Amino acid sequence: MKILTVYFSRKGNNYCNGRVCFLERGNTDIASEAVQRAAGGDRFEIVPDKTYPSNYYACTVEAQAELRLSRKVPVKAYKDDLETYDLVFIGYPNWWGTFPMAVRTFLAHYDWTGKTVAPFCTNEGSGLGRSERDLTKVCAGARLLPGLAIHGAEVQDKEAAIAAWARRCVNETEEP
């Protein structure tokens, strides 16, 4: 079985336990690394072909406008051989109740028929929001496994829980 972990992450100014803090690495980046260590396979970062404001609050205003307007956010690159993967972990921060529009752009580029998708998101209290429901639309034809919500401020301490979830996803995908 071939496994891929794709993710979008934001480093810099982020919301952490009720205040804005600076992150050297984005929480979803850290979580995606834990998923890959546990599940194996390859890892690919979704990078928007734009720069979001460094100010956390300005970024949230822009992200909300993108979502409200269903704005396509171009990405710098696509994974050329995504069709060769059986299980795709999809990681993202929860922005306004779902995944960022750059993730939507990336996902909409592919035919998901016959794939298994396992979503995970970092958040500061909103869990997966409606992202699983939104994934069933943009990844039409895929089998969606139950997702994992990770409190972003605690991601460094959640490697064991992330690994256990990732291994369950691999086991579920291997079962006939």
pLDDT at 42 over 90: yes
pLDDT at 176: 59
| pLDDT of 175 over the 80 cut | no
Percent of the chain predicted with pLDDT > 70: 99
Stretch 96-121: mean pLDDT? 97
Long-range contacts formed by 152-161: CB under 8 A, 24+ apart: 152/14, 152/15, 152/16, 152/27, 152/28, 152/93, 152/122, 152/123, 152/124, 153/16, 153/17, 153/27, 153/124, 155/27, 155/30, 155/31, 155/122, 156/30, 158/31, 158/34, 159/34, 159/37
Rg, the chain, Cα only: 15
Q: What is the mean pLDDT of residues 2-31?
A: 95
Give pLDDT tens digits for 57-94: 999 999 999 999 999 999 999 999 999 999 999 999 99
pLDDT over 90 (residue 159):
yes
Write down all domains in the chain, each with its CATH number in brackets: 3-174 (3.40.50.360)
- Angstrom CA distances, 3 to 17, 77, 80, 84, stand at 33, 19, 14, 9
Whether the pLDDT of residue 174 is over 90: the answer is: no
Residue count of the chain: 176
Mean pLDDT in the chain? 96
Supply the pLDDT for residue 29.
98
